[in-house]
A = this chain, B = another copy of it.
Amino acid sequence: MTMREMARMTPVILCGGEGTRLWPRSRKACPKPFLQLVGESSLFEQACKRCSDARQFDGLLVVTSNDHAELAAAKAPPGSIMIVEPSGKGTAPAIALAAHRLPGEAIMLVCPSDHHIADSAAFRAAALAAAKLAGEGNLVAFGIHPESPETGYGYIRRGEPIEGGYRIAQFVEKPDLERAQSFLAQGGYSWNGGLFAFRADRFLEELAAQRPAMAELVASAVEGGQEEGPRFHPDAASFAAIRGDSIDYAVMEGTTRAAMVPVDMGWSDIGNWQALRDVLPAGDADGNVVRGPAELHECRRVLVDSDGPRVSVLGLEDVIVVVDGDEVLVTSAAHAQAVGKLRGASGQ
């Protein structure tokens, strides 16, 4: 297949997450997608850039919230179309809004904008494979090669092979450690990274069949919506009436046409500070990672991230120190998952 023959895709960038577990760096005023966590630009910018090759991708469609709209508009490539959700209802309604704004035959590539993908070429190759399966009417999930028995991710169990991928035998909820370990030992399991591909009409068809009430309310919200330059504002009242749900529950688990493309692309959801530490290159032989002014002695696998004050750390292992304005976070790596429950992270 040459570039000319390959199915073009419309990237649909979902930009809604707060990322409370990356508090205090992630805050309402600058949520996770807009943080420069890895590399020289924000996760959102990197998500846009991954889909910027005009030979493979059409212009971007960004689905975002009122809170994020200005940031997203400022950072999205020129010409991007934006849908501003009046409220957060999960990924299924968000993707349905996008599907309504596209031609039925458009192949959507749904991408979260708060994840890290190290290998863009592998991502594009998987998108190509997914586009082909999507063009044949499948609802395609990216099945990410699991590098460790993560308990924070959902898993996809592979079914029978089809040309260009596999059927999906089962979507598995976040497992406990023992199950996660058995998944890796058995093989045939992938992480569900929230990346999907399908034709717009196929998605709406499945949604109408599986969640008719949601499908109707989204359609009403689109009908009653208003254009504002490149931004589209769905009707708030209709949208507010939706009982929110994820694409996994609302569509993917119920369809008979679920497929997956396997991909190994250095993916992380950077779900907490420990995950970020693991993604960042160590600055010394002891695995320490430092951003901002810092001095470390007898430390191992310590992450320091300071926006100004010098941080001096002595004699600690697997500890994360974050300084952000008037907030200082010090957590063991093992407790990084609990950061979102702190008063600061929830109250802000």
The answer for the CA separation of A341 and B314 in the assembled complex, in Å, is: 11
Q: Does A335 contact B (CB under 8 A)?
A: yes
> Interface 1/0s, chain A 80-112, versus B by CB < 8 A?
000000000000000000000000000000000
Copies in the complex: 2
Q: Does A308 contact B (CB under 8 A)?
A: yes
The answer for the CA separation of A325 and B326 in the assembled complex, in Å, is: 11
> Interface 1/0s, chain A 299-315, versus B by CB < 8 A?
00000001011111111
**A325 cross-chain contacts in B, Cβ below 8 A:** 309
Residue of B nearest to A330 (CB): B313
Q: Does A343 contact B (CB under 8 A)?
A: yes
Would you mind naming 7 contact pairs between A and B with Cβ atoms under 8 Å apart? A298-B335, A298-B338, A306-B328, A312-B329, A313-B329, A315-B331, A316-B332
Interface size class of chain A, counting residues whose CB lies under 8 Å from the partner chain = 20 to 34
Q: Does A319 contact B (CB under 8 A)?
A: yes
Residue of B nearest to A323 (CB): B328
Give the residues from 277 to 313 in chain A that come closer than 8 angstroms, CB to CB, to chain B. Answer: 295, 297-298, 306, 308-313
The answer for the CA separation of A342 and B296 in the assembled complex, in Å, is: 9
The answer for the CA separation of A336 and B309 in the assembled complex, in Å, is: 20
Inter-subunit contact B326/A310 (CB<8 Å) = yes
Identify which of B315, B326, B335 contacts A334 (C-beta below 8 A). Answer: B315
Inter-subunit contact A338/B311 (CB<8 Å) = no
The answer for the CA separation of A249 and B311 in the assembled complex, in Å, is: 38
Inter-subunit contact B314/A331 (CB<8 Å) = yes
Q: Does A48 contact B (CB under 8 A)?
A: no
Q: Does A339 contact B (CB under 8 A)?
A: yes
Identify which of B24, B309, B315, B332 contacts A338 (C-beta below 8 A). Answer: B315
The 9 A-B pairs at the shortest CB distance, nearest first, are namely A315-B335, A314-B331, A315-B332, A314-B335, A311-B328, A313-B330, A309-B326, A312-B342, A312-B329
